[in-house]
Amino acid sequence: MKPANFSYIRAGSIEEAVEIMSRSDGEARFLSGGQSLIPALNFRLGGPSLLIDLNSIPGLSGIRMEGAAIIIGALTRHTELGHHPLISTHLPLLTEAVQHVAHPAIRNRGTFGGSLALADPSAELPACVLALRAVVKVVGPGGQRVIAADDFFVGGYTTALAPDELLTEVHIPLPNLSARHGFAELTRRRGDYAMVGLALMTGPQQRVVWFGLADRPLRDQAAEDALSGGPRAAAAAALSGSEVWGDLHASAATKTHLARVMIRRLLERIT
Ligand SMILES: Cc1cc2nc3c(=O)[nH]c(=O)nc-3n(C[C@H](O)[C@H](O)[C@H](O)COP(=O)(O)OP(=O)(O)OC[C@H]3O[C@@H](n4cnc5c(N)ncnc54)[C@H](O)[C@@H]3O)c2cc1C
């Protein structure tokens, strides 16, 4: 299908993009990689009358280190994330996870910020930023604010971003040197969204985060508390106290079973 008619503006700065958005009365959408927005328009799932293209805004993409944090610009493509030495050295969870995002053609255009703003509950990167204790920086008509990843994903395809706020960059603190990462994903075909997925960090600030199991990435404190008991203990505790959702792929009970097998095998591999 073809999309309904819409207008298009290429923003030259963050301020310009935000200003145009705030004047649009909710009728506009930001366009980053377009890998989800454009298919949605083609299927006529929602019809913004204006697209504000972010791709020419200087400084919105790129990866750098500042003090004890890695900063990832919203417009950074998945491909750059997957090949960047700062990421593979300090945040190998992201290097591993991004290889599971779709296929090379989509990773060449899709962006880090677009993926977080979209907040697909089965996507890899939202779960990773939660596991890595990231902080999201956003700019709106009232200025700038920061949102902890813990507070950013509020429901299915829903974030704490106001409609006229632009996600500009993500700050990820360097993990403790003793920390290890783990990533696993079950899909029907390579490149699909996850049926069950897991991103975790061990060490003093351990975190266990599932994706594909609920309406948002799901932090699993029961599994975190049991990590010190080893893979079997973590598997036994995993998801107790969490509400798992069934979907077209599998029931909640099947997903819970798959998840427990997944965390046991992953911990046996990395510890
Ligand atoms: C066939 C196919 C398979 C895919 N498989 C996967 C997969 O397995 N895992 C996965 O994670 N993803 C997958 N994707 C999605 C892809 O990875 C993109 O990352 C994702 O679509 C969003 O990034 P984007 O830059 O394309 O965002 P866009 O499509 O440009 O935007 C998505 C939404 O976010 C908003 N937005 C974008 N940037 C910002 C910003 N900076 N601030 C505020 N709002 C913003 C837009 O207005 C829009 O509502 C797949 C896509 C396709 C087409």
In the reported structure, the alpha carbon of residue 32 is separated from the centroid of ligand 1 by a whole-number distance in angstroms of 8
**Within this chain, do residues 169 and 67 fall inside the same structural domain, yes or no?**
yes
Residue nearest to atom 23 of ligand 1 (CA): 114
- The finding on whether 147 has its CB within 6 A of some atom of ligand 1 is no
**Within this chain, do residues 153 and 127 fall inside the same structural domain, yes or no?**
yes
Residue nearest to atom 5 of ligand 1 (CA): 102
Q: Which of 157, 173, 189 is the last residue of a domain?
A: 173
**Within this chain, do residues 190 and 98 fall inside the same structural domain, yes or no?**
no
Q: Which domain holds residue 215?
A: 181-270
CA distance 110 to 194: 17
**Within this chain, do residues 157 and 224 fall inside the same structural domain, yes or no?**
no
In the reported structure, the alpha carbon of residue 116 is separated from the centroid of ligand 1 by a whole-number distance in angstroms of 8
The pick from 18, 30, 41 for probing ligand 1's pocket by mutation, whose C-beta has the most ligand atoms within 8 angstroms, reads: 30
Q: Residue 127: which CATH number?
A: 3.30.465.10
**Closest by CA position to 33, among listed 136, 147, 117:** 117
Q: Residue 36: which CATH number?
A: 3.30.43.10
The reply to whether 14 falls in a domain is yes
For the segment 3-31, what is each residue's pLDDT rounded down to a tens digit? 889 999 999 999 999 999 999 988 999 99
CA distance 229 to 235: 10
Q: Which of 140, 173, 206 is the last residue of a domain?
A: 173
* Residue 146: pLDDT over 90: yes
The reply to whether 152 falls in a domain is yes
**Within this chain, do residues 46 and 122 fall inside the same structural domain, yes or no?**
no
Tokens of 55: 């791709």
The reply to whether 58 falls in a domain is no
Q: So what's the pLDDT on residue 241?
A: 86
Residue nearest to atom 27 of ligand 1 (CA): 114
**Within this chain, do residues 185 and 96 fall inside the same structural domain, yes or no?**
no
**Within this chain, do residues 196 and 261 fall inside the same structural domain, yes or no?**
yes
**Within this chain, do residues 235 and 169 fall inside the same structural domain, yes or no?**
no
**Within this chain, do residues 49 and 74 fall inside the same structural domain, yes or no?**
no
- The finding on whether 138 has its CB within 6 A of some atom of ligand 1 is no
For the segment 212-268, what is each residue's pLDDT rounded down to a tens digit? 999 999 999 999 999 999 999 999 999 998 999 999 889 999 999 999 999 999 999
**pLDDT band per the 50, 70, 90 thresholds, residue 46:** confident
Q: Give me the chain's average pLDDT, please.
A: 96
**pLDDT band per the 50, 70, 90 thresholds, residue 191:** confident
260 bridge partner residues: none
The reply to whether 2 falls in a domain is no
The reply to whether 120 falls in a domain is yes
- The finding on whether 34 has its CB within 6 A of some atom of ligand 1 is yes
Q: What's the predicted TM-score (pTM) here?
A: 0.97
Q: What total of structural domains would you count in the chain?
A: 3
The reply to whether 1 falls in a domain is no
- The finding on whether 123 has its CB within 6 A of some atom of ligand 1 is yes
- The finding on whether 140 has its CB within 6 A of some atom of ligand 1 is no
Q: Residue 247: which CATH number?
A: 3.30.390.50
Q: So what's the pLDDT on residue 219?
A: 97
**Within this chain, do residues 200 and 222 fall inside the same structural domain, yes or no?**
yes
- The finding on whether 102 has its CB within 6 A of some atom of ligand 1 is yes
**Closest by CA position to 224, among listed 195, 199, 246:** 199
